[in-house]
């Protein structure tokens, strides 16, 4: 009887040992399957083209630089920088409204006003430097910045120009806030764009704000930081002010 019980105990021990050794292998297999499933989901994104590029009439604004040519002889050639009040100064006629207008509209206005001094005047206005159309990228990016829109770009290029999103970004819920011609908020999924779905890779226009929000974990972390260190921002401002005072 004792031998039978001992044999049963040894059998149970052997079974337990085998099952204990098998558990890590089973967990590894499950982990591998999960990774393969995630990779498969990432690779299964259907490629989608981006929205079409739309070219709008450029509206001049401060501090754009204009090249103005007035014919016939004697020709007048000058450059003018649009002032903060939207005006430029042109020989013979003085101030001309430039802000909010196209170069064609500015040339037509100058031409009609200068005809008193030059018969058959032909005026050409060209954009020498475009600086008024600005794009701002802020939030969870490496180098938040504003920069001039000197060419047609999409939101992925704008984010790339500031060093990409940070590890704390909610990169599938980026917002493009557009104020003109009407207020509009566009959702952008940069993760989908990276995987080939370019349907949210929208074109940017002057005045657009690209905001990359923090992830939920980052929001919680920031909230905890504010609770634990409520005076840290004030200390940073005080330190900066003290440094400026010493430097001066």
Q: Which has the closest alpha carbon to 106: 131, 87, 119, 125?
A: 125
Indicate if 151 and 220 belong to the same structural domain: yes
Q: Are 201 and 224 members of one domain?
A: yes
Count: domains in the chain:
2
Residue 229's pLDDT band (cuts 50, 70, 90): confident
C-alpha 125/C-alpha 61 separation (Å) is: 14
Q: What does the pLDDT read at residue 195?
A: 93
167 and 221 co-located in one domain: yes
Could you list the residue range(s) of the whole structural domain that residue 195 is in? 134-228
Tell whether omega for the bond before 96 is within 30 degrees of 0, i.e. cis.
no
Same domain, 141 and 99: no
pLDDT in tens, 131-162: 999 999 999 999 999 999 988 999 999 999 99
pLDDT at 2: 45
CATH classification at residue 218: 3.10.560.10
Residue 40 lies in a domain: no
The DSSP secondary-structure symbol of 202 reads: P
Indicate which CATH number applies to the domain containing 84.
Answer: 3.30.1950.10
Confidence at 225, pLDDT banded by 50, 70, 90: confident
Residue 218: CB atoms within 10 Å: 16
| 3-state SS class at 22 | helix
Q: Is residue 33 part of a domain?
A: no
Considering only residues 123 and 74, tell me which one the structure prediction assigns the higher pLDDT: 123
Mean pLDDT of 6-13: 52
Phi-psi region at 13: left, alpha or beta (left = phi > 0; alpha = psi -120 to 50): alpha
- Structure confidence at residue 1 as a pLDDT band (50, 70, 90): very low
**Residues 77-88, mean pLDDT to the nearest whole number:** 96
On whether residue 248 sits in a domain, the answer given is no
Task: Give CA torsion, residues 153, 208, 179, 190, to 10 deg.
Answer: 80
pLDDT tens-digit readout, 83-125: 999 999 999 899 999 999 999 999 999 999 998 888 889 999 9
DSSP calls for 31-80:
HHHHHHHHHHHHHTPPPBPPPPP---PPPP-TT-EEEEEEESSSPEEEEE
Q: Output 191 or 22, whichever has higher pLDDT.
A: 191
Determine what percent of the chain is predicted with pLDDT higher than 90.
58
Whether the per-residue pLDDT at 226 is higher than 50: the answer is yes
pLDDT value at residue 205: 93
Confidence at residue 242, expressed as pLDDT on a 0 to 100 scale? 46
Judged against a pLDDT cut of 70, whether residue 204 lies above it is answered with yes
Q: What is the pLDDT of residue 37?
A: 53
> Which among 154, 138, 145, 157 is positioned nearest to 204, based on CA atoms?
154
Q: Which two tokens stand for residue 101?
A: 């207008």
The answer to whether residues 139 and 223 belong to one domain is yes
Residue 164 scores a pLDDT above 70: yes
Residues 7, 8, 13, CA angle at the centre, nearest 5°?
95
CA distance 202 to 32: 36
């Amino acid at each position: 009887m004792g031998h039978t019980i001992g044999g049963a105990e040894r059998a149970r021990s052997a079974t337990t040992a085998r099952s204990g050794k098998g558990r890590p292998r089973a967990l590894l297999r499950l982990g591998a399957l999960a990774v393969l499933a995630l990779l498969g989901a990432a690779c299964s994104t259907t490629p989608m083209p981006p929205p079409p590029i739309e070219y709008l009439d450029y509206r001049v604004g401060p501090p754009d630089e204009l090249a103005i040519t007035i014919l016939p002889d004697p020709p007048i050639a000058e450059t003018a920088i649009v002032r903060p009040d939207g005006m430029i100064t042109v020989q013979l006629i003085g101030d001309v409204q430039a802000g909010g207008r196209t170069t064609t509209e500015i040339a037509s206005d100058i031409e009609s006003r200068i005809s008193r001094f030059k018969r058959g005047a032909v005026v050409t206005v060209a954009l020498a430097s475009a600086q008024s159309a600005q794009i701002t990228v802020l939030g969870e990016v490496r180098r938040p910045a504003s920069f001039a829109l000197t060419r047609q770009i999409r939101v992925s290029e704008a984010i790339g120009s500031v060093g990409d999103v940070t590890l704390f970004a909610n990169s599938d819920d980026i917002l493009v806030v557009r104020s003109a011609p009407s207020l509009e908020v566009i959702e952008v999924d940069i993760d989908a764009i990276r995987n080939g779905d370019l349907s949210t890779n929208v074109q940017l226009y002057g005045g657009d704000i690209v905001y990359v929000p923090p992830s939920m974990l980052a929001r919680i972390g920031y909230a905890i930081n504010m609770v634990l260190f409520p005076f840290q921002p004030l200390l940073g401002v005080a330190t900066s002010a003290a440094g400026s005072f010493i430097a001066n």
